[in-house]
Amino acid sequence: MERIFAPWRIRYVLAPKPKDCVFCSAVKGAEKEMLVVYTAEKSFVIMNRNPYNPGHVMVCPKRHVPSIEDLSDEEVLEIMKLVNLSMRAIRRSMNPDGFNVGINLGRVAGAGIAEHLHVHVVPRWNGDTSFMPVLADVQIIPQALEECYDQIRVAFESLIQK
């Protein structure tokens, strides 16, 4: 068996699990520390701490609701605008070949945090899925979260200032 060392993962493994909603806490905390890339009136964009790919962000309402059905029309519109803005910022800063955009409603549908709605925006590149996840049940993320955060944050700022 091949061993791949990822010593930075130990912080996640050993970190105390939050009692409060991570999304509610994130929007109240320090943006960079909480990896909040952008905040709007009713929603915000946050980096995924356990990304599928570099640049994986989530768009969340500020209100703690489990389903898109619980959102007001204004919240739905703002969230979709932030999905669009997120794609533009990631495209500008990382040049992906495509995106996966989706919502997992309920734990059975794959939601890791089912209590607080979030929309995944995952950049994809041709050939980004290698043999590692298939044969070794290992995923390689080639960029540090902090570096990716800075890169996408700059792109958001340049798009907003237009």
CA dihedral 108, 109, 114, 116 (to 10 degrees): -160
Sheet of 43-47, strand order: 36-39, 43-47, 57-61, 119-124, 98-102
Per the CB < 8 A criterion, the answer to whether 117 and 62 are in contact is no
Q: Which of 56, 116, 118, 120 is catalytic?
A: 118
From the number of C-beta atoms within 10 Å of its C-beta (0-12, 13-18, 19+), residue 55 rates as: buried
Tally Cβ neighbours within 10 Å of residue 22: 17
- What is the C-alpha to C-alpha distance for residues 111 and 47, in angstroms, rounded to an integer? 16
CB 41 within 8 A of CB 81: no
The CA distance from 129 to 131, in Å, is 7
Is 116 tagged catalytic?
A: no
Point out the residues that are catalytic. 118
